[in-house]
Amino acid sequence: MVELKTDTSIDAMYAAGQVLGRALTAVRQAADVGVSLLELDEVARGVLREAGAGSPFLGYRPSFAPTAFPAVICASVNDAIVHGIPTRYRLRDGDLVSIDGGAELDGWVGDSAISFTVGEPRPADVRLIETAERALAAGIEAAVVGNRIGDIAHAIGTVCRDGGYGIPEGFGGHGIGRRMHEDPGVPNEGRPGRGYPLRHGMALAIEPMLIASGRDGYHAAADGWTLRTDDGSRAAHVEHTVAITDSGPRILTARC
């Protein structure tokens, strides 16, 4: 069931989103050659703690997971697409890093992700990340009253495929509110004019995931959480929580 949020609830989600935005900004600033993924998780924990916010990631255990998630961020490096568990791995020059995080404040949730490079960037990685961000922008632009979920999916998929990138099937965005994952699902590829109609008060996490090689294959790593590309190519993941309003899409996790 799709829950429509009141304007007051959307404002509360914006407050949670701003905490998360600060956490992701702090993680990005702390990420450098030699810094461990566990240290980045500690940075995010500190921002959430200071704001009196919780983490919808920490302890989360969906049906596919062998264990509860042990961190407040997902940290996915190079060929990891999403859901990477922070470890003692220390970042190296040229790494491509995707950080996905959540914040829960006063019962409302924000969900957002960023991708960036550490040290000297590879031109191919820069293009991959820029395309992911353009796909996200296209998806948000399509998130207007009167459109449908398929319009968002089509906008994202068109940018990804036109760039020559792969899209992991079965993973995409979702509704969000008092829980991190709500109806409806938001695929990263689809047909325009199809799917659930967009209405004022809907809140969606829109999150393109791109595979550099142009192939779509992926698999779950031994930890049961991390999704990796089948061919070892690099991946990027970006995300915003967005409210559908009569005056246009409102990004609730915008970062200063």
Q: What is the pLDDT of residues 177-219, one digit of tens each?
A: 999 999 999 999 999 999 999 999 999 999 999 999 999 999 9
Q: What is the pLDDT of residues 130-167, one digit of tens each?
A: 999 999 999 999 999 999 999 999 999 999 999 999 99
C-beta of residue 190 within 8 angstroms of C-beta of residue 154: yes
Q: What is the pLDDT of residues 44-61, one digit of tens each?
A: 999 999 999 999 999 999
* Confidence at 236, pLDDT banded by 50, 70, 90: very high
Output DSSP code: residue 68: -
* Confidence at 231, pLDDT banded by 50, 70, 90: very high
C-beta of residue 77 within 8 angstroms of C-beta of residue 84: yes
How many CA atoms, within 13 angstroms, populate the side-chain half-sphere of residue 114? 17
Residue 256, pLDDT > 90, answer: no
Q: What is the mean pLDDT of residues 105-111?
A: 98
Q: What is the pLDDT of residues 55-80, one digit of tens each?
A: 999 999 999 899 999 999 999 999 99
Q: What is the mean pLDDT of residues 120-124?
A: 97
Residue 97, pLDDT > 80, answer: yes
Q: What is the mean pLDDT of residues 72-89?
A: 98
pLDDT at position 255: 87
Q: 95: how many CB neighbours lie within 10 A of its CB? A: 20
C-beta of residue 166 within 8 angstroms of C-beta of residue 211: yes
For residue 132, the Cα-to-chain-centroid distance in whole angstroms is 11
pTM of this prediction exceeds 0.85: yes
- What crossing angle do the helices spanning 149-162 and 123-141 adopt, rounded to 10°? 160
Task: Say whether 175 sits in a helix, a strand or coil.
Answer: strand
pLDDT at position 122: 97
Whose tokens are 């949020």? That residue is: 5
What does residue 58 show for φ and ψ, rounded to 5 degrees? -65, 120
Q: What is the spatial distance between Cα 73 and Cα 57, in angstroms, rounded to a whole number? A: 7
Q: What is the mean pLDDT of residues 227-232?
A: 98
pLDDT at position 210: 98
